[in-house]
Amino acid sequence: MSSCPHCAAPLRPAATFCLACDRPVVDETSRLSVGDAVHVSVGRPLVGLLVVVGCLVVIGAATYGGVSFVHHRHEATARQAAADVTRAATLILAAEGGHAASCARMSAVVAGPKARIVRECDSMVGHDPGAEPGTLHVDRVRLHGNAGSARVRSTISDRAGTHTLDRVLPLVHVRREWLLRWDGAPL
C-alpha cells in the first residue's frame, strides 16, 4: 500500500487524490481529464421494432406474391399446353380416320416446318378409316426448360371395334408456345 507524498496518509490502490489532505497524489499530466457531458440517445425501441417488422412484412408479401405469380403463370402455361396437345391429337386422329383437311391445320400445334408436317400427315390419311376418337383427356403435363411431355388418353372407335389410346407425347417449347413434337407416325 502506498502513502500520500504530502501528509503520509495511506492511499487506496489507483487513488488520484488523498482523502486525508484532499490533494492530488499524481502529477497533472497523468490525470484523466473530464470533458463536457455528452448526451447519448437510446432512441425509441418501439419505433425501430415497428420498422423492422414492417420491412419483414413487405419482404414476405413480395416473396409470396412472386412465388404465387410464377405458380399461376406455370399453371396457365400448362393449361394452354394441354389444350394445344388436345387439338394436335384430335387433328392427327382425324387424319388417321380419313379427314385430309385436318393436315393443313396441324402446323399451328405441331413443331416443325409446315411442309414436312403436311407431307407426313397426308401420307397417313386414312390409315385407320372411319376412326372416331372419344373425348380426349390430357394430363400429366410436364414442362421443363425447352422440353416437356403430356399424357393423352382416349377411346377410339373404328371398324375393328373400340380400343384405348394411352400415350405420353413429347412437347417442345417454340416461340413462347408448347408444341407437339410429332414423328409423323399414327397415334
pLDDT digits (tens, 9 = 90+) for 94-153: 888 888 888 888 888 888 888 888 888 888 888 888 888 888 898 888 888 888 999 999
Q: What is the pTM of this model?
A: 0.58
120 membership: H or E segment, kind and range: helix 114-124
CA-to-CA distance for 102 and 93, rounded, in angstroms?
A: 9
Q: Is residue 15 situated within a structural domain? A: no
Contact 140, 168 (CB under 8 A): yes
Residue 143's Cβ-count burial label (10 Å; 0-12, 13-18, 19+) is middle
How many domains does the chain divide into? 1
Q: Is the pLDDT of residue 90 over 90?
A: no
| Residue 168 pLDDT | 92
Range of the domain at 90: 71-180
| Residue 40 pLDDT | 64
Query: For the chain, how far is it from start to end, CA to CA, in angstroms?
Result: 106
| Residue 151 pLDDT | 93
Q: Is residue 102 situated within a structural domain? A: yes
Q: Is the pLDDT of residue 30 over 60?
A: no
| Residue 85 pLDDT | 87
Residue 165: other Cβ atoms inside 10 A: 16
Q: Is residue 12 situated within a structural domain? A: no
Residues forming beta bridges with residue 149, ordered by sequence position: 142, 170
Q: Is the pLDDT of residue 2 over 70?
A: yes
Task: For residue 107, give the CATH number of its domain.
Answer: 3.10.450.50
**Whats the size of the chain, residue-wise?**
187
In the numeric block, the cell 390409315 is attached to 127
- Pick the residue with more confidence: 40 or 149? 149
Residue 14 — very low, low, confident or very high, per pLDDT cuts 50/70/90? confident
| Residue 133 pLDDT | 83
